[in-house]
Amino acid sequence: MTTAGSEDKARPLVRALLPLMAPVFVVFLVTGVALPALPLHVHDRLGLGAFAVGLVGGAQFAASLVSRVWSGAYSDARGAKRALIAGLVMASGAGAFYLVSLRFVGAPLVSAAILILGRGLLGGGESFVIVGAQSWGLALVGSKHTGKVMAWLGMAMYSAFAVGAPIGSMLFEIYGFPAIALATALVPIATLVVIAPLAAVAPKAHARLDLTRVAAAVAAPGLGLAFASIGFGGMTAFSVLLFVERGWQPAWLSFTLFAFAFVFARLWLGHLPDRIGGARVALIFAIIEAAGLALIGLAPWAWLGFVGAAATGFGYSLVFPGLGVEAVRRAPPESRGLAVGVYTAFLDLALGFLVPALGFIASKAGLGSVFVIGAALSACAVPIAARLMVVVTPKEAR
């Protein structure tokens, strides 16, 4: 039960994080808006095949992965506000590339190549915004609130995905791809009005790139995150297909329940990693996530499948901030931006390589196998979290 005193203490933290949630929401909103439109534009308007669709869609992931370390180092050395502004400008530039690509519709390969450049720029902007916002939030409220910072900013990110797709579908259906391009170009720039007046937090003195030390500190929590993220990737890529195949309707409700449970847990339980320990929370919620995935894969009835979807979202919700607390605590204080970038890169690796591998398995063993194997892999985060519970944090990382 939340007391009046605890609410009073929480208000300054929420007020500090709300302005930082705006650019995170916006960047992932323009990402979500393009998700239903890009494949149709590339396939139907440009007349290109599935391989080209995959290249255009995957360019953002590749750029996001490559730029994680760069964005973290930039945030530490130049300041989180500069990193966040740079990310918004990159995101707006992606919209400009979208617009230019429309001038070359008559040359589909040229148009697709320009789209790939735009998607790559958006991926870089995503990295700079999320890493800059997390670094700025930690500087404002202190590392003792790491879990809350990651939970609240993550909630902005996934909420943007949830509303972006239907907005994108509506815009594309009524106005076509030019509307997606304009929204991508204009909305991030408009968000600078929120960020510009905020007082910047000075970067750490003599901040320097110490990638080897930071990577060593973050490796164990990052590996746990990679395993746990299999569940998220499986839900986004295969849940609707599985529910349709089994006749469990409405199939879209599977991901809706996942997202609702995810946001609910972030909103009401986001304080737990800071209060009882990130590793302990990650251990408990990784078990819940694995159980949910197994339930989806093995359920004989639709209602159990839907319960499994909700359990998967509820479990995954706090694994990221739980292990993130451990990553930040183990990193040198002057390199926390870099630590966030390296830690988040493990999520990109999981979504970029392990989830496609599950797709290959599904083509051979059926869609249900994706969730059974995903449950086993997600469970691998449990012993990692248990190990982190007994490893003493180095004094300089506290």
Domains of the chain and any CATH numbers: 1-195 (1.20.1250.20), 208-392 (1.20.1250.20)
Report the candidate in 280, 285, 307, 283 with the shortest Cα–Cα distance to residue 295.
307
pLDDT above 50: residue 58: yes
pLDDT above 80: residue 105: yes
309 vs 391: CA distance, rounded Å: 33
Confidence of residue 206 (pLDDT cuts 50, 70, 90): low
List the single range of 116-125, 131-140, 149-158, 321-330 with lowest mean pLDDT.
149-158
pLDDT above 80: residue 237: no
The pLDDT mean for the chain works out to: 84
Comparing 240 with 196, which gets the higher pLDDT? 196
Confidence of residue 10 (pLDDT cuts 50, 70, 90): low
pLDDT at 209: 57
pLDDT above 70: residue 397: no
Comparing 36 with 208, which gets the higher pLDDT? 36
Burial annotation 73-96 (CB, 10 A radius, 16+ → b, else e) = bbbbbebbbbbbbbbbebbbbbbe
Comparing 181 with 367, which gets the higher pLDDT? 181
pLDDT above 80: residue 320: yes
pLDDT at 234: 81
What is the tens place of the pLDDT at every residue in 321-333?
A: 999 999 988 887 7
What would the mean pLDDT of 28-54 be, rounded to a whole number?
Answer: 81
The position carrying tokens 């304080």 is 271
